[in-house]
Amino acid sequence: MIYSEKFLNRFWNKIDIRNKSECWIWKASKYDFGYGQIKADAPFRHNLISHVVSLEIKLNRKLLPGMCCLHVCDNPSCCNPDHLYEGSVQQNSDDKMNRGRHKNGPTEGEDNGNAVLSNQDIPVIVNLILTGHSNKEIAAMYNVTHSTISLIRNKKKWIALLDSIGFEAKPCFIRS
């Protein structure tokens, strides 16, 4: 088991569990963009993303390097394991484009020099950082330099956006 029994009890209690076809909404604290948030057990206590945890429980392993947890229901708070699947970063942005959710126009951090990351990428990168991917792995996925990812990890850039999703700097590399 990749999560302790104590953690699992805490986890499932925060979800509105319904039948298999319905969305199971996260009832506890959320990031601004709707993802559920839960602290890992002591001693780490770092924030995990609820739907990622739900998928990892189903898969009985951590997400593979370079992979994200994607929703079939387009409902960021949903933790129904049947609505979740493992997919690549590319699939994630394709799916968003296909569903017409991608918003254009530069906003904070995006219109700055030759930034190639968009505001939509940042929550996904945070997700990758929190699930233990290295700067090198993430940089390769987005075709940016390690230092670009390091700026996010250390919260030196996109600060307002990172604040809005409750991200604290994660200078150490922690596998949850």
Binding site for Zn ion (CB under 5 A): 23, 73, 75, 78, 80, 83
For residue 27, the number of C-alpha atoms closer than 13 Å in the C-beta half-sphere is 10
Contact 158, 108 (CB under 8 A): yes
Q: Given the complex with Zn ion, which of 78 and 138 has the nearer CB atom?
A: 78
CA 140, chain centre distance (Å) = 17
Q: Given the complex with Zn ion, which of 37 and 118 has the nearer CB atom?
A: 37
CB of 59 to Zn ion, least distance (A): 17
CB of 82 to Zn ion, least distance (A): 8
Q: Is 47 helix (H, G, I), strand (E, B) or coil?
A: strand
Q: Given the complex with Zn ion, which of 30 and 83 has the nearer CB atom?
A: 83
CB of 172 to Zn ion, least distance (A): 33
Residues counted in the chain? 176
